[in-house]
Amino acid sequence: MSIDAYPLIADWITTRDGRLLVHTGKVDIGQRISTALTEIAHEELTIPPDQIDIAPVRTSRAPDEGMTSGSNSIEQSGHAVRCAAATLRARLIALAVSRLGGAPKDWRISGGVLRVPGSNRQISVLNLIDEVPADTEIDRHAPFLTRPPGTVAKPAMRGLSEMVLGRFTFVHDLEAPGMLHARTIHPPHARARLDRIELKTTDRSRVEGLHIIRDGSFLAIAGSQEWPLVQASVQLAKACCWDPGGGVPETDVFTQLVTANASRFPVIDGVPQNSGVPDALPKPDMHARYERPYQMHGALAPSAAMAHWDGETLKIHCHSQGIYPLRTSIADSLGLRHGQVDITHVPGSGCYGHNGADDAAFEAALISIALPDTPILLKWSREDEHSNAPYAPAMVIDLAAKLADGKIAAFSAEAYSDTHGARPRPGPNRAGPARLLANRLRADAIGPVPPQPNMGRHTGIHRNLDPIYAFPKKRLVKNLVTGGPHRTSAMRCLGAAANIFALESFLDELARGQGADPIAFRKAYLTDPRDRAVLDELQRKTMLLPDLPETGGRGIAYAQYKNQMTRVGICVDIDTDDRANIYLTRANIVADAGRVIDTEGLSAQLEGGFIQAASWALYEAVTWDRDGILSRDWDSYPVIRFGNIPTIDVTILNRPEDKSVGAGEASPGPAIAAIANAVFDATGIRMRRMPFTPDAIMQKAFAD
Amino acid sequence: MTLKLHINGKTYGVSSDPGTPLIYVLRDELKLKGSKLGCGLEQCGACAVLVDGKVEMSCVTAAQAFAGREITTIEGIGNSALGRRVQAAFVEFSAAQCGYCTAGLIVATTALLHRDAAPDRAAVTTALSPHLCRCGSHPRVLKAVDQAARS
């Protein structure tokens, strides 16, 4: 818990230049956490949003909240800031009483001012905060302020007004006096090692005057002018002779996942157990296998970082989602004390998980150590990001059910996957440094270390493997299969995207097999009124939809993220043509995220999650051959574009009495399944492997 | 002779090699950093600028090819009433998440509405399809475009 480590009000809330300054360890990656924190501080202290700032997230000052991941920012940082602000309000009222009299109940707060109604006694909240002793602890039970609707201002999205003017600063835009631009020359694939560099005379002229940094197979080039540097990096890359080290295995990954030796764990109530795996269901009435290929984060901006080593301190600006663990891992990699590495978060483009941000930060650090007293701005190329950032692992999910009187009497789910957890967190066997790409390439190479199974509740592979539905008997198994062809790590939703795709497709198959209504079929296994309320609302919205064209289809799906966070029901309408193109026409999303803080931000996350998932479902798959990754740009790795964006209708069931829960990863799982179910509705073809490209649909049609 | 570029109503003498792709001249020499580099392959639209009122990618074509033409970057979009209307609509509909695609989308929307004041949905998606957004802010962008067209 964030408050346990940072129990003081001043850890979270201070003032600066007469404005409120909110401190957080969670970084804004486009998910609007800074907007939500502004809203929370405003709700509790009534200070107008335009007088509230969010402090830069920096290892030397911000609360260490580890990773910004798992849709936890609202529950962790949001809760801490709310408790700190609520405590602060009580302390401020006590101060007002001691200074100007009256009883605490006489004082009212609004517009950032404390006043006694009917008197001239009033005092500004901002002026009073500095008089609260710096060591005042947060009272976790301080009552939150409830204000009548309409009296709470809705802050505009942080940074948006600068973005539309082209004035919002990304890490790529940073400058410093004497700065050099840098590029890394990455191996063609993870197993290749740099044998030698053979620069021809004609190439030399381009490269001369630039700095070439080499440490084993880690190779970088730096220079003062960016474009000449980019050209030189291309020449340098051409001059590299790589030992392919056996190349990239071309085995069928889906076969490999289910046949290789796996670390197997039964999962009970979402938690893997160190005990024997129960036998498979004997003679199931229904069995199906679902598959998700390797997919990439594919951030719009290739990763970048600025680093500056002055012989004592290594200052880094980067867009990592976990600057504290990264700080520790970089310090360990370089033999520095943790305090010698100072990382500040600067926005990059949307990341959706562990992309190249951490690797680029460490590479910039290596270059800056080689070129001391010189700020280094390293930018990866598009190809670097596509072919070197960690991927979301390929997954296979085997589902089976035994039926009794048409009802599910026993259910089995087995998920097979490589790790989803390879962020550079410190751990045994120098796991932190080992998970930084460049450390694998340096002359004194570190790693990789074999991934350890994540045994937490609804983490990694088994996130949402446990159905939310009350099936009488459940057999759930997690299979960690290591040694796949690619480096894998966390991408939005982790295992939940594929697990929910599988489960919600499977239920659709069962429901259709019985001619049952898919919503009623699900409700038969749900008793929680909040689950049922989401599905009831989805049903109501679905009844209002226009009829589908003959070539159209409709699919629904439901999930509660991690079985404990945001509940999402989705209905998707599609149209098709005779070449098996899928056109998304309409999506209805119904969600319950508890108490709503930033309605717009919540809707934006649900919509964005839907669209990213639609892109996974219809377009995305990493391809490779023995010589390396073939998905090296947006032509060889197509993603969704404006031509296939449905009309999206979001309905949020606000629960003011309930805890706020994160929603950034709640919609993708049900989105994929709803699309698959709509494809079946339209075509009679059951797509059990993503992506549902026209080719894949045609192949499946001929195979069926 | 130094290369001269007309950008956002001003004339700039450029010292970069004339063969440099325009985006590097804009960002590195002229410090107009609102245009973003996303791929360097004309595949993602983040670097889009207006050239004589039409959308062009700036990440491949050499700066010298833009001599004598009127370039408008995101920094100059607000010089026209239409551009300001598009910017306001993007704010009103929160038509961005991380914001990296935003400059290119505003440029493309401004060009579209300049030639077609009331585009239908097909015209809008055709105009915006060269532009990627990976955060999924598309529905809000489409609403912002409709709003800017109406106002």
Query: Does A139 lie in the same domain as A64?
Result: yes
Query: Does A236 lie in the same domain as A116?
Result: no
Pairing assessment for the beta strands A240-243 and A376-379 based on DSSP bridges: unpaired
**What is the amino acid identity at position A445?**
A
Please provide residue A375's backbone torsions phi and psi, each rounded to the nearest 5 degrees: -65, 135
Flag if B36 and A298 touch (Cβ within 8 Å). Answer: no
Residues of chain B with CATH 3.10.20.30: 3-73
Flag if B94 and A348 touch (Cβ within 8 Å). Answer: no
For position A72, what pLDDT does the model report?
Answer: 84
**How many H-runs (helices) and E-runs (strands) does chain B carry?**
6, 5
Closest listed residue to residue A12, CA positions, set A72, A85, A67, A95: A85
Any domain includes A438: no
Find how far residue A35's CA is from the centre of its chain.
Answer: 18
Cα separation, A112 vs A119, in Å, equals 17
List beta partners, residue A240. A197
Topology given in CATH for the domain delimited by B3-73: Ubiquitin-like (UB roll) (3.10.20)
CA distances from A603 to A396, A589, A600, A645 (A): 31, 9, 5, 16
Cα separation, A641 vs A542, in Å, equals 26
Cβ-in-10-Å burial (0-12, 13-18, 19+) of A113 comes to middle
Any domain includes A358: yes
Is residue B119 less than 8 Å (CB to CB) from chain A?
A: no
For position A1, what pLDDT does the model report?
Answer: 56
Q: Domains in chain A: how many in total?
A: 3
**Chain A residue nearest residue B27, CA to CA:** A173
Flag if A611 and B136 touch (Cβ within 8 Å). Answer: yes
For position A2, what pLDDT does the model report?
Answer: 85
Q: Alpha helix locations (H) across A47-78? A: 73
**Count of other CB atoms within 10 angstroms of residue A663:** 28
Q: Percent of chain A beyond pLDDT 70?
A: 99
Q: Indicate the average pLDDT of chain A.
A: 95
Q: Is the separation of the CB atoms in A347 and B98 below 8 Å?
A: yes
Query: Does A182 lie in the same domain as A103?
Result: no
Cα separation, A443 vs A214, in Å, equals 9
Q: Is the separation of the CB atoms in A574 and A553 below 8 Å?
A: yes
- Which residue range is the domain that position A203 belongs to? 175-246+298-388
Any domain includes A279: no
> Per-residue pLDDT tens for A334-345?
999 999 999 999
Tokens of A8: 């003081």
For position A675, what pLDDT does the model report?
Answer: 98
Q: Which of residues 334-363 of A touch B (CB under 8 A)?
A: 347-350, 352
Cα separation, A673 vs A592, in Å, equals 19
Task: Single out the residue in A347, A369, A388 at which a domain terminates.
Answer: A388
> Per-residue pLDDT tens for A626-666?
999 999 999 999 999 999 999 999 999 999 999 999 999 99
Tokens of A586: 């309409």
Query: Does A192 lie in the same domain as A132?
Result: no
Cβ-in-10-Å burial (0-12, 13-18, 19+) of A88 comes to buried
* pLDDT at position B26 over 70: yes
Is residue B96 less than 8 Å (CB to CB) from chain A?
A: yes
Tokens of A54: 């969010």
For position A351, what pLDDT does the model report?
Answer: 86
Any domain includes A283: no
Q: Indicate the average pLDDT of chain B.
A: 97
Q: Closest partner residue to A227 among B24, B75, B139, by Cβ?
A: B24
**Chain A residue nearest residue B19, CA to CA:** A227
Q: Considering only CB atoms, which chain B residues are within 8 Å of A647?
A: 139
Query: Does A687 lie in the same domain as A569?
Result: yes
Is residue B20 less than 8 Å (CB to CB) from chain A?
A: yes
CB contact burial B70-98 (16+ within 10 A = b; e otherwise): ebbbbbbbbeeebbebbbbbbbbbbbbbb
Please provide residue A475's backbone torsions phi and psi, each rounded to the nearest 5 degrees: -125, 115
Residues of chain B with CATH 1.10.150.120: 77-150
> Per-residue pLDDT tens for A281-297?
999 999 999 999 999 99
Cα separation, B83 vs B89, in Å, equals 10
Cα separation, A57 vs A44, in Å, equals 22
> Per-residue pLDDT tens for B53-62?
999 999 999 9
Q: Considering only CB atoms, which chain A residues are within 8 Å of B39?
A: 382, 633-634
Cα separation, B88 vs B95, in Å, equals 10
Beta strands (DSSP E) in A335-473 are: 341-345, 376-379, 395-404, 407-417
Q: Is the separation of the CB atoms in A321 and A29 below 8 Å?
A: yes
Q: Is the separation of the CB atoms in B132 and B48 below 8 Å?
A: no
Any domain includes A41: yes
Q: Closest partner residue to A157 among B94, B125, B135, by Cβ?
A: B94
Query: Does A121 lie in the same domain as A48?
Result: yes
Helix or strand run (H / E) with residue A289 = strand A286-292
SS3 content of chain A, % helix, strand, coil (to 5): 35, 25, 45
Residues of chain A with pLDDT under 50: none
Q: Say whether A85 sits in a helix, a strand or coil.
A: helix
Q: Considering only CB atoms, which chain A residues are within 8 Å of B148?
A: none
For position B1, what pLDDT does the model report?
Answer: 67
Domain B77-150 grouped into CATH 3.40.50.360: no
CATH number at residue A374: 3.30.365.10
Any domain includes A494: no
Q: Considering only CB atoms, which chain B residues are within 8 Å of A301?
A: 36-38, 46, 100
Q: Which of residues 585-644 of A touch B (CB under 8 A)?
A: 600, 604, 607-612, 633-635, 639, 641-643
Q: Closest partner residue to B24 among A226, A639, A643, by Cβ?
A: A226
Cβ-in-10-Å burial (0-12, 13-18, 19+) of A34 comes to buried
**Chain B residue nearest residue A347, CA to CA:** B98
Closest listed residue to residue A395, CA positions, set A375, A377, A413: A413
Query: Does A628 lie in the same domain as A548?
Result: yes
Q: Considering only CB atoms, which chain A residues are within 8 Å of B57?
A: none
Query: Does A377 lie in the same domain as A236?
Result: yes
Q: Closest partner residue to A643 among B16, B37, B125, by Cβ?
A: B125
Pairing assessment for the beta strands A628-629 and A647-652 based on DSSP bridges: unpaired
Q: Considering only CB atoms, which chain A residues are within 8 Å of B75?
A: 165-167
Tokens of A307: 């680093």
Give B55→chain A minimum CA distance, Å: 16
Residue by residue, what is the 3-state secondary structure of A558-616?
A: EEEHHHCCCEEEEEEEEEECCCCCEEEEEEEEEEECCCCCCHHHHHHHHHHHHHHHHHH
For position A200, what pLDDT does the model report?
Answer: 81
Cα separation, B103 vs B87, in Å, equals 9
Residues 6 or more apart whose CB falls under 8 angstroms from that of A612 comprise A352, A492, A668, B134, B135, B136
Please provide residue B107's backbone torsions phi and psi, each rounded to the nearest 5 degrees: -60, -45
**Count of other CB atoms within 10 angstroms of residue A266:** 16
Cα separation, A594 vs A653, in Å, equals 8
| Rounded (5°) CA angle A445-A450-A453 | 150
Cα separation, A256 vs A262, in Å, equals 10
Q: Considering only CB atoms, which chain B residues are within 8 Å of A381?
A: 40
Query: Does A128 lie in the same domain as A9?
Result: yes
Cα separation, A317 vs A58, in Å, equals 9
**Chain B residue nearest residue A379, CA to CA:** B37
Task: Single out the residue in A388, A410, A442 at which a domain terminates.
Answer: A388
For position A147, what pLDDT does the model report?
Answer: 72
Q: Say whether A107 sits in a helix, a strand or coil.
A: coil
For position A113, what pLDDT does the model report?
Answer: 96
Q: Closest partner residue to B129 among A32, A300, A643, by Cβ?
A: A643
Q: Considering only CB atoms, which chain A residues are within 8 Å of B33?
A: 166, 169, 173
Query: Does A183 lie in the same domain as A329?
Result: yes
**What is the amino acid identity at position A104?**
P
Q: Which of residues 31-60 of B touch A (CB under 8 A)?
A: 31-41, 43-44, 46
Give A175→chain B minimum CA distance, Å: 10
Pairs of CB atoms within 8 A across A/B = 162
Task: Single out the residue in A132, A149, A166 at which a domain terminates.
Answer: A149
Flag if A647 and B125 touch (Cβ within 8 Å). Answer: no
Tokens of A65: 């909240």
Q: Is the separation of the CB atoms in A668 and A566 below 8 Å?
A: no
Flag if A607 and B136 touch (Cβ within 8 Å). Answer: yes
Is residue B138 less than 8 Å (CB to CB) from chain A?
A: yes
Helix or strand run (H / E) with residue A628 = strand A628-629
Query: Does A524 lie in the same domain as A667?
Result: yes
Is residue B91 less than 8 Å (CB to CB) from chain A?
A: yes
Flag if A160 and B74 touch (Cβ within 8 Å). Answer: no
